[in-house]
């Protein structure tokens, strides 16, 4: 049973690593789309994000369930549900197999968080630029609005040969 549990957990962690790599790739594409101001690509990446995040959540739930089975199998009572504490209470061969995957996942999630932070800053800058552009356009329209301005209306009147006065 122990060997099957370890193999299952390793498979789940490998799948999570692959999903996070896909999510990181999507975030890189999103960053370029933000830089290029490519709205269509941004929408596509957001849709892809959602799909991969659903898969990550499912894998995470599966991993948590598997860890509960492992805790039961090894009769472990942990003070906190941390991965490192779990590994510390498992046989050495488990640690040797699980630790490299854990290290890869931690590094990948750290890189993803940094990239996500950069994307957030780019998005804020794009929103500020769009707000400034919108305000500039609105001010320009307001300044040139001749529909309600009597002075501009008088300027636009055509000279008339015959007018009402005579």
CATH topology of domain 1-142: Methane Monooxygenase Hydroxylase; Chain G, domain 1 (1.20.58)
pLDDT-based confidence at 148, cuts 50/70/90?
Answer: low
Q: What is the residue whose two structure tokens read 């329209």?
A: 141
Question: Mind listing the pLDDT tens digit for each residue in 65-81?
Answer: 999 999 999 999 988 87
Mapping DSSP to helix (H, G, I), strand (E, B) and coil, where does residue 122 land?
A: helix
Question: Average pLDDT of 145-152?
Answer: 55
Distance CA 51, CA 61 (A): 16
Q: What is the residue whose two structure tokens read 């933000």?
A: 34
Question: Mind listing the pLDDT tens digit for each residue in 46-56?
Answer: 999 999 999 99
pTM to 2 decimal places: 0.78
Q: What is the residue whose two structure tokens read 């999510």?
A: 23
Distance CA 68, CA 10 (A): 15
DSSP label at 148?
S
Residue 159 has pLDDT above 70, yes or no: no
| C-alpha to C-alpha distances, 88 to 47, 95, 110, nearest whole angstrom | 39, 7, 23
């Amino acid at each position: 049973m122990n060997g099957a549990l370890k193999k299952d957990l390793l498979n789940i962690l490998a799948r999570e690593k692959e999903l996070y790599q896909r999510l990181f790739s999507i975030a890189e594409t999103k960053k370029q789309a933000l830089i290029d101001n490519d709205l269509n690509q941004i929408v596509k990446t957001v849709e892809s994000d959602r799909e991969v995040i659903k898969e990550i959540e499912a894998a995470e739930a599966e991993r948590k369930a598997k860890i509960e089975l492992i805790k039961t199998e090894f009769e472990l009572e942990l003070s906190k549900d941390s991965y490192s504490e779990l590994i510390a209470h498992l046989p050495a061969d488990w640690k040797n197999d699980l630790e490299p995957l854990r290290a890869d996942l931690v590094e990948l999630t750290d890189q993803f968080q940094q990239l996500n932070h950069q994307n957030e800053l780019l998005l804020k800058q794009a929103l500020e630029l769009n707000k400034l552009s919108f305000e500039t356009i609105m001010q320009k329209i307001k300044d040139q609005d001749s529909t309600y301005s009597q002075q501009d209306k008088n300027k636009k009147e055509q000279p008339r040969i015959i007018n009402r006065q005579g």
